[in-house]
Structure 1
């Protein structure tokens, strides 16, 4: 029974991973608090939904543009040093946010610039940071390490906004931004204590040529490309978040508490799946697991679009959130293990960009379809299209379907 629960062995066997997990978990909570504080400050300054939407744009543009650059850097320089310097820059930006709030500068442009700066340096360091579990843990624990990281992210999504409301209500903007700075310092300390992590294997090009070579590797690898296509099918065709306000208005009277339950249900499903992820992380076939999880995601969201009672809608969203977590864990482990270290930074950067852009485009698709038809049709048709797409991927990609870690991947310690 215990093998079905969250595997915490990475926290026991690797002090370096344990420090990293604690530091990045605190940083994730601090990031959520700061995100709410930024939205609150922008709204107080402008009272414009356009400008609060611009906060997302200020984050998304550098995340997409600099993510691929970060991947090329991760395959060219020591990854610990790269993450250390990018985290230091993010810490400085966090202190800048606190300073502008303390001094009551009142500059929207400065606020958005600091937000974009944080996001940009985060994008530069993210691909290198994602390679840490496979370098710190043995082959059999990589998936468990990724599961622990994803669980802490989901927990931060649940706890962070509530803490932000408490801090903002009691003490205001400056302490909220300082909490992020302190949490970032904890993550930076954990990274400084890591061993050096230069990329192994022969380098393959520099600058744009290195990025192109990373793309070529993804195209050649049926396993990695299949993992990414599966994720794109799930997010582009079935992402439901943009439909929540409309469905809430049409079926449940527009109650804001119900809208909050929709968002919480997905996160609750993710947390539950994280606590019960032992079976997933011990699976020898992460490609097949991701395919089943992505198909379940699509089916659950199709049901969400059809059902009437609130409890059934919430149950479908909990199932979708759980399936998403299983998909993220299995994909992350398979990508890290199936990619040679010489290309791991660039391949991981593509995963990062897909993770940022895919859901946003998927939400846009959902909104367009809902505008032309209805929100219920957009949710149901998107979920069914996702399910069909996953069946096609599984039928046409034998390598992904039959991928086995024990057979196809050498232990990193032996590489």
Structure 2
């Protein structure tokens, strides 16, 4: 029984065997908690200053635009410079923005435009440094440990998404927004220290110092069917099967609840994702990554469609959202691993940049799709049809790309 349990929980081998990876993982986990605290504080400040939900919602738009624009550009930079230095610059920039937010809160400047500017700068620094950080991991670990490393990264990310907002709310309630910003600023020291201790991470061979084109990355992705299919599978899940924008309407009309019910609906997928990452010890034993990705996204779509049928049964709806979050974690682990292993080193930065655009843009498109369908029909129909459309899109992908189902991590091919 003990051996079975050890085989089920997250594999800690990357943390045990690589001090560099261990420092990066810890630093990113701590800074993720801090960044989530800052996100809550910015929203609280903007709403307190304006009393407008539209102005508060515009915070997301201020972050999305630089994430998309600089994500592609940051990936191209990461393929031509020392990735360690780029990671240091990006992390230092994020720490500086958090310090700026703390200063404006302490000084009581009460300028919404300044908050929007800070959020935009955060998006830009994150988009520039994230491809560099992600493309470092295959240099630090052997290929067979990458699934476990991606599972561990998901653990730290979802811990940040669950713990960060709660701690942020407590700190803001007790000491004001400046407290959350100050904690976030200090939290970045862990990431900066991890980056500082890394060896140089220059691109392989002749690519170092040469100009890397974003278009080259897009052309490479277009010509590599397995990697392209993994991106399309994620887009199908996010565009058709993400009912996030329906949660306020469903909380009231579906479950007879209020704002606290919305919070539960938002948290449920993250709880499931965290559980999936914590019990991911089995992922390193799976070699058919293409099959695993498509099966996980189908599970996501079916869970969302079933969620649309749970009117009046809140806990069943929360359980299905948690199952969907767990399936999304499985898909993410194998998609990241495929990109890290199958792509050549000189393209990893640009592919990570494209990945940021997909991750940032897909959910926003999903919000638009689900909200539009709900306006034309009902929120229930939107949730059910979105989940089923996701499944249909994945089955179509599987039919059109049968080679993706044969993808074997022991013989990776992009």
Distance 1:408 1:51 in 2: 46
1:413 maps to which residue?
none
Separation in 1, partners of 2:273, 2:150: 13
Q: Which residue does 2:103 correspond to in 1?
A: 99
Q: Which residue of 1 aligns with 2:272?
A: 269
Tell me if 1:377 matches 2:381.
yes
Q: Which residue of 1 aligns with 2:143?
A: 139
SS at match of 1:219: helix
The Cα of 1:313 is off from its aligned counterpart by 1.1
Q: 1:362 aligns with which of 358, 362, 366?
A: 366
Tell me the CA shift for residue 408 of structure 1. 2.7
**1:409: how far off?**
6.2
Q: Does 1:63 align with 2:62?
A: no
For normalisation by structure 1, the TM-score amounts to 0.96
Contact 1:262/1:317 (<8 A) preserved: yes
Contact 1:214–1:343 (CA under 8 A) maintained in structure 2: yes
Give how far 1:201 is off: 4.2
Partner residue in 1 for 2:32 = 28
Correspondence for 1:86? 90
CA distance in 1, matches of 2:316, 2:180: 37
Residue 101 of structure 1, CA deviation: 0.7
- Contact 1:98 1:177 (C-alpha < 8 Å) held by counterparts: yes
Q: Structure 2: any 5+ residue segments left out of the alignment?
A: none
- Distance in 1 between residues matched to 2:56 and 2:74, nearest whole Å: 27
Match of 2:180 in 1: 176
Superimposed CA distance per residue, residues 2-45 of structure 1 (whole angstroms, 9 cap, x where no aligned partner): 22220111110000000111111000000011110111111111
Question: Once structures 1 and 2 are overlaid, which stretch shifts more, 322-331 or 198-207?
Answer: 198-207
* Kept in 1: contact 2:226–2:413 (CA 8 A): no
Shift of 1:398: 2.2
Q: Distance in 2 between matches of 1:387 and 1:142?
A: 27
Q: How many residues align?
A: 409
Distance in 2 separating the partners of 1:351 and 1:204: 22
Distance 1:281 1:244 in 2: 35
The residue that corresponds to 1:291 in the other structure is: 294
Contact kept? 2:342, 2:413, Cα under 8 Å: yes
Question: Which range moves more in the overlay, 277-286 or 152-161?
Answer: 277-286
Question: Does the 8 Å contact 1:133/1:146 carry over to 2?
Answer: no
Question: Alpha-carbon deviation of 1:280?
Answer: 2.0
Deviates more, 1:240-249 or 1:355-364: 240-249
Deviation of 1:257 after TM superposition, in Å, equals 2.2
Find the partner of 1:258 among 258, 261, 273.
Answer: 261
Q: Which residue of 2 aligns with 1:120?
A: 124
- For 1:200 and 1:224, the matched residues in 2 are separated by 21
Q: Does the CA contact (< 8 Å) of 1:37 and 1:173 recur in 2? A: yes
Separation in 2, partners of 1:289, 1:378: 27
**SS of structure 1 residue aligned to 2:204:** coil
Deviation at 1:204, TM superposition (A): 10
Q: In structure 2, what is the Cα distance between the partners aligned to 1:234 and 1:114?
A: 30
Asked if 1:42 is matched to 2:46, the reply is yes
Q: 1:225 to 1:204 in 2, by over 3 A?
A: farther
Please report how far the alpha carbon of residue 395 of structure 1 lies from its aligned counterpart in structure 2 after TM superposition: 1.7
Q: Is the 8 A contact 1:43 1:52 kept in 2?
A: yes
Partner Cα distance (1:377, 1:96) in 2: 45
CA deviations on 1:110-157 (whole Å, 9 max, x unpaired) are 121112111111111111111122111111111111111111111111
Q: Distance in 2 between matches of 1:244 and 1:62?
A: 27
CA distance in 2, matches of 1:384, 1:242: 17
User: Comparing 248-257 with 70-79, which one deviates more in the overlay?
Assistant: 248-257
Residues in 2 aligned to 1:206 and 1:16: alpha-carbon distance in whole angstroms: 27
Q: Distance in 2 between the 1:316 and 1:194 partners? A: 41
What corresponds to 1:336 in structure 2? 340
Residues 382-401 of structure 1 show CA distances to partners (whole Å, capped at 9, x for unaligned) of 10011011111112212221
* Residue of structure 1 aligned with 2:323, choices 319, 332, 356: 319
Q: Of 391, 406, 410, which aligns to 2:410?
A: 406
Matched residue, 2:349: 345
Matches within 5 A, 1:147-296: 147-203=151-207, 210-296=213-299
